[in-house]
Structure 1
Amino acid sequence: MNLEVEYNNRARVPGHPAIIGEWMRDAAAFRAAHPPEVLAYGPGPREAMDLFLPREIRGVAMFFHGGYWQALDRSSASHCAAGLLAHGIAVGVPSYDLCPGVPLVRIVDQAEAAARALHARLGRPMLIAGHSAGGQLSAMLLARLPVEIAAAALSISGVFWLEPLVTTSLNVALGLDEAGARALSPALLPSPGRPLHCAVGGAESDEFLRQSREFATLWGGTWEALPGLDHFTVLAPLSRPDHPLTITGTRLARQACGELSVA
């Protein structure tokens, strides 16, 4: 198996610059229409989140952007809060430092600090969500944080076993050895036994499909492949309040804070 082909999503999707450009435009437009509260979770310039608040809070979620832990920031992902916000879910969208400027373990610690800061601000258990690198972060937090903070996870196109990345060009910035990759692999941690849903684009690589399918099974969660969507277009549903993926996220967020029963 050619792991470079399987995991290098920018090479797999030549049109990704245009899609990321659309993210930036849509995110800026969403922030203009829904000015966020900026909530710091640490002293660094990237240790802050945009917090989008509905008129009545019916659940809380945090969404971590992707970029293989080495690209982008929260300004690329604001619009991913749109669907949930329309259903009364407060959504925090953090930035974090990037590799190789910091090691990946530092990013996981920052993600935890961001979740703790959002919990301190709103005082409710939350849904932890994220895309790609953010999918790994959401799963790590579900395993590391108490249920009073992280009650459910929605991981979109996540990487849950990091060892396959070690031999790829993606690892130039990450600097992982096999031991480090294992330590940061959510799939090698004990299942927290909390609600988990994994979504992945149906047009993604076999490895991304496998990781979501096998991780969801391992942790007793659910998973789906969204037909026709690639690693970048898979985010489009989150802007739509009526999309089934948004409905799933809304249900998980409301269950997390007791707005809905689990049954």
Structure 2
Amino acid sequence: MASGRLDYEAEYNNRARVPDHLIHLDGWEQDAAAYRATARCELSLSYGAGERNQVDLFYPENGDSGGPVVLFIHGGYWQSRDRTSVSHVARGANMRGLTVAVPSYSLAPAANLAGIIAEIEAAADFIMRRMDRPIVATGHSAGGHLAACLMARTSPSLRPVRAAMPISGLFDLPPLVETSINKALGLTLEEAHRLSPLEWTPPGSGKLVAVVGGAESGEFLRQSRAIVDTWGRAGVTTRYHEVPEAHHFNVIAGLANPADPLVDILVELTEGA
């Protein structure tokens, strides 16, 4: 719950925090369209029955290394954007020999958050079955939350996800309940607790690197540090990584560059995943 000492609206309303956010979002759309037009890819593969249950696969031009597939999950507070706005984030990993899958999922308010988590589980399972490989889960903002959910799931009938790189992720959801962000989500406080990966039983092993922009709000920094500390104590090999001076809308920019530290981290996570 929000307290008088901390303005959660100001902490989590990233569009208000970054006045030129539309420039960055428009840039994503342009870069994504340009990459889809030139990349070696398979587009709009169905992983479920929903209209938005589709995933794009981006392949390395010079042959796949044969390792795990990188699954990148878009953000937008579970209520906006889709896979076509972030296709360009596959470029860096593709140029390092990794295949990248980028799914869409149903959005709030048409879907609730529990249903969205289930859809991303279905997307991950579709990719692992189709490629017969494990995945490294990554994603931005709400996508970081969903990546952590994949790694923390415990169903014995599903192939585990042993490595993740959430970027500016949300792992502790109760602070969102009294903000404008929750208008579309409609989370009760009980649901916010129940759907927070920080309150789930942590994985007992695996690797997680929590990435966050150095210029983001104190709450975003806290969230990434919290999952690193909590999961690290449980046996996960964890690391906290700040992108210097990055805000919420340019923190993912390095994924398009094969020489960027974020791509280095993805490559490291694929080793033994």
How far the C-alpha of 1:213 sits from its partner, in A, is: 0.9
Tell me the residue number matched to 1:252: 269
How far the C-alpha of 1:202 sits from its partner, in A, is: 0.2
| Partner of residue 201 from structure 1, selected from 213, 221, 244 | 213
Structure 1 contact 94–114 (Cα < 8 Å) conserved: yes
Structure 1 contact 124–148 (Cα < 8 Å) conserved: no
Tell me the residue number matched to 1:73: 82
Deviations 1:179-203 (A, max 9, x none): 1001110001111121000000000
Partner of 1:150, secondary structure, is: coil
Tell me the residue number matched to 1:36: 41
Structure 1 contact 83–246 (Cα < 8 Å) conserved: yes
**Sequence identity, in percent?**
47
Cα separation, 2, equivalents of 1:148 and 1:167: 36
| Partner of residue 213 from structure 1, selected from 220, 225, 234 | 225
How far the C-alpha of 1:35 sits from its partner, in A, is: 4.2
Show structure 1 runs of 4+ deviating over 6 A.
none
Deviations 1:202-245 (A, max 9, x none): 00000000110111111111111111100000010101100111
TM-score (norm 1): 0.95
The code of the aligned residue for 1:9 comes to N
Cα separation, 1, equivalents of 2:67 and 2:135: 11
How far the C-alpha of 1:149 sits from its partner, in A, is: 4.1
Tell me the residue number matched to 1:97: 106
The code of the aligned residue for 1:59 comes to P
The code of the aligned residue for 2:50 comes to G
Tell me the residue number matched to 1:235: 252
Cα separation, 2, equivalents of 1:161 and 1:121: 32
Cα separation, 2, equivalents of 1:249 and 1:35: 20
Tell me the residue number matched to 1:17: 22
2:58 is equivalent to residue 52 of structure 1:
yes
Indicate the larger mover: 5-14 or 27-36: 27-36
TM-score (norm 2): 0.91
Structure 2 contact 47–123 (Cα < 8 Å) conserved: yes
2:196 is equivalent to residue 190 of structure 1:
no
Partner of 2:251, secondary structure, is: helix
Partner of 2:210, secondary structure, is: strand
RMSD in angstroms over aligned alpha carbons? Answer: 1.2
Task: Flag structure 2 segments of 5+ consecutive residues without an equivalent.
Answer: 1-5, 233-237
Cα separation, 1, equivalents of 2:257 and 2:160: 26
Cα separation, 2, equivalents of 1:90 and 1:150: 16
2:166 is equivalent to residue 151 of structure 1:
no
Cα separation, 1, equivalents of 2:131 and 2:173: 32
